[in-house]
Structure 1
């Protein structure tokens, strides 16, 4: 299965900040916010503490970070502090955040992973109450730098430095636009298998969507569990990278458990509809090095037949 879910953040696995993969079957869904999380992003952020306050973080926001501390650093709980307070808008529930990340081994003090610095930025992800990401980001303002201690969850205790590069309101991120003059076309075989033809033109930089056939069933709502048939094609060379049509096996998943461009193609459409959507890398699998994948940097085109939808509360 190549419709990949956004990885949910938790205190244990912030290193999965980017899109997570699944070899086959339906995508994993994201955690459902709980009533206790409804107090707001500011309140659910991890508390500060002596351990995280003992760490010295250097470097400008957006530039590769350094974290200095006496190793081994004993980390028994998640602690968080805002090292640099940005002057931009605060994160609100549902906003998409582009960020940079540096990870340090608490035992040795050595850098073990980083990405998104120097103007690259890791793919924006939604920060929602109860997702786990809220613990790290809280309601930090755009331009902030956050330091976080992460207890051992199997890979050793770690220190994280996270830069909040850009905060994008949920309704503005990967918003759907009308197709341009140069848009892919689709033909269906007698067996109902779609063939997508990519035009000889530059890929669009926005999510573009065309309704090929309009259904008259229930309208897909955010968070619904949907059953679809789909074919995914790379704009760069027209190759098919995944197709439930060809397998003869429709896929079922939550709209919030897939990349944003695909989510935008589903929500607001009626069951029975078939749509054609094109999405730039930022609304698909991104371009960050941490998320190494053969779909990174690709503009993707999907033909999607919406078969069924069920409310998230059902």
Structure 2
């Protein structure tokens, strides 16, 4: 369902990131991003060094101040643990909340921060594509490298060398806060008459049974669980679990549950109309059922397996991230 690659770090107002190991690109018409199993090894497991050890952090939380002494040389990516937490270890596939600051290593100017988000918390899904990108502060990979394989409650500094000649090195400061649920946590609602039936297994994975009769002519959205979190706004970066089937025969064509139940992440403006309508205006923690006709799905796209198909999705909304467009 996803149509194009997503954002860079500099556009994040309050990010949501999925911790995962190296993975390939998603299929062009897939809703989510393919990811490895949750027991994958650390992406980088960076050592500390003179550069990262020199970074000073005073305070914690929203009041933390990060500074780099004049003359500090930052020529490679390094990670130093400021405080080691006492929670569970953050592993690939985990969904966590965190705070961060991205600081210019020459001027100590704060370039980007989660403090623009609700309560200063970045509901954090640390997703990655290529470990070679980790030195580039415009890639979400740096969050994975910073937070991976340390206990919840840890704070770290990650040095990021200048991405190109004439630019400055930077420092990413990250505090992990808590592990978040990877299924919808809202209160169950009464099912709608005539809608596809949804049953959940012990892990929360949904099965969908299509009723007899024709598919609706217009997109219909039913809330199966009502969440109490932040509302998904147009263009937000969302973190979801989902399963999609065809109305015509009930066969599955796409699912995050089929990829080791690792959540998917995409921007609401980068999916088909029916999926966008299912997300925008809903609250984090909700589970929604959406039935969409071809006009709000893939229409008559010649050669697409979903050509002229009415589609049904069950979607667990786990987190949402406001996006600031880069100038």
Distance 1:33 1:148 in 2: 24
2:21: which partner in 1? none
Q: CA deviation at 1:119?
A: 3.7
Q: CA deviation at 1:208?
A: 9.5
CA RMSD of aligned residues (A): 5.0
1:99 to 1:191, Cα distance in 2 relative to 1, 3 A: same
Q: CA deviation at 1:275?
A: 2.5
Q: CA deviation at 1:63?
A: 2.4
2:75: which partner in 1? 76
2:321: which partner in 1? 286
1:82 to 1:217, Cα distance in 2 relative to 1, 3 A: closer
2:111: which partner in 1? 112
| Equivalent residues in 2 for 1:113-128, closer than 5 Å | 113-116=112-115, 119-126=119-126
Q: CA deviation at 1:77?
A: 0.3
| Equivalent residues in 2 for 1:234-249, closer than 5 Å | 234-235=280-281, 245-246=295-296, 248=299
- The question of 1:59 aligning with 2:59 is answered yes
TM-score norm. by structure 2 comes to 0.55
- The question of 1:46 aligning with 2:46 is answered yes
- The question of 1:159 aligning with 2:168 is answered no
- The question of 1:173 aligning with 2:185 is answered no
Indicate the SS of the match to 2:295. Answer: helix
Q: CA deviation at 1:69?
A: 2.0
Of 126-135 and 87-96, more deviation after overlay is shown by: 126-135
Contact 1:72 1:108 in 2 (8 A): no
1:212 to 1:205, Cα distance in 2 relative to 1, 3 A: farther
1:140-189, Cα deviation, whole Å (9 max, x unpaired): 11111111110111453101110111124xxx4134889512769989xx
Distance 1:125 1:177 in 2: 19
Contact 2:53 2:80 in 1 (8 A): yes
| Equivalent residues in 2 for 1:73-152, closer than 5 Å | 73-116=72-115, 119-126=119-126, 132=141, 133-152=143-162
Contact 2:187 2:227 in 1 (8 A): no
TM-score norm. by structure 1 comes to 0.57
1:238-287, Cα deviation, whole Å (9 max, x unpaired): xxxx99734736699xxxxxxxxxxxxxxxxxxx884244554x43x335
1:77-132, Cα deviation, whole Å (9 max, x unpaired): 00101101111111122111211110111121221221158844113204679764
Greater relative contact order, per chain length (Cα 8 Å cut-off, separation 6+)? 2
Give the aligned length. 242
Q: CA deviation at 1:14?
A: 5.6
- The question of 1:204 aligning with 2:239 is answered no
Contact 2:79 2:156 in 1 (8 A): yes
Distance 1:205 1:146 in 2: 31
Distance 1:72 1:243 in 2: 61
